[in-house]
Amino acid sequence: MASGEVQDDLQYHGARHQWDLIDVQEVWRFRELIWMFALRDLKVRYRQTFVGIAWAVIQPLAMMLVFAFFFRISGGKPSDSGLPYAITALCGLIPWQLFASSVTSGTQSIVINQQLVTKVYFPKIILPLSSVAVALVDFSIAFCMLLLVMMWYQVVPTVAILLLPLMIVIVVVCSLAVSLWLSALNAIYRDVQYLVPFMLQIGLLASPTVYDASMVSPQWRWLYSLNPMVGALEGFRWALLGTTPPALAPMAISLGCMFAILIGGMIYFRRMERLFSDRI
């Protein structure tokens, strides 16, 4: 083969590698690492804490009480569902906590594990995936608390609850999609980890966590729906409480943005993965 043909072939395979997605089969072979890292992180997180894993319940409860007090003194009406505000708020805050916790831990996952990243071979996507797994444990505990609150207020789910697992999957996918981008960026630019808390504070208010999406003016609904967590949170609230179903168009926009972020994140993470050892 001529040298020119060899060069063209290398350029072709290099270009194709740049646009490769994550190797799912390889991740599946290393799947046990996800649970190993998740168990390690859980032990580290709650080591020498007074209330331990109860923080998974305390945080959304405290935030719900703060916003309930705010809306009460301001005279605002954050929901038109007719349900107790405690339930509607927790239905937004608990999945949001899953997202925020996944993104916060996932952003730093590559840098924190730099010794493993530079010395041991494994698919590096395992690290943000393990961050999502840890957040799912906290979510499960907080979700049990939410069910108890629903029983207290005698709120009975409708048949829409059959779609609740799908809505949880959507929240998880959103969490992973954003974590892929931020973990790869943080490995190159350390400023990213300091921006994340600020971004999450804005995201909390720009998502239907403590209020219904119906409170947003219709003329801004399309822009609001560009936030992928809008569809995820509204879908979660509808599936669990049987509130008004999310409008089809805004839901489609949110899901479309979610998949765009996910695919872009997988491509970018794969491209940056080979640079992690040199840059961290």
Q: 154-206, pLDDT tens digit by residue?
A: 999 999 999 999 999 999 999 999 999 999 999 999 899 999 999 999 999 99
User: Which pLDDT value is given to residue 68?
Assistant: 87
Nearest to 279 by CA among 111, 125, 105: 111
156-165 tens-digit pLDDT: 999 999 999 9
Q: Per residue in 38-59, pLDDT tens?
A: 999 888 877 766 667 788 888 9
Residue 243, burial from CB neighbour count under 10 angstroms (0-12, 13-18, 19+)? buried
pLDDT for the residue numbered 39:
92
pLDDT class for 145, splitting at 50, 70, 90?
Answer: very high
Rounded distance between C-alpha atoms, residue 4 and residue 158, angstroms:
66
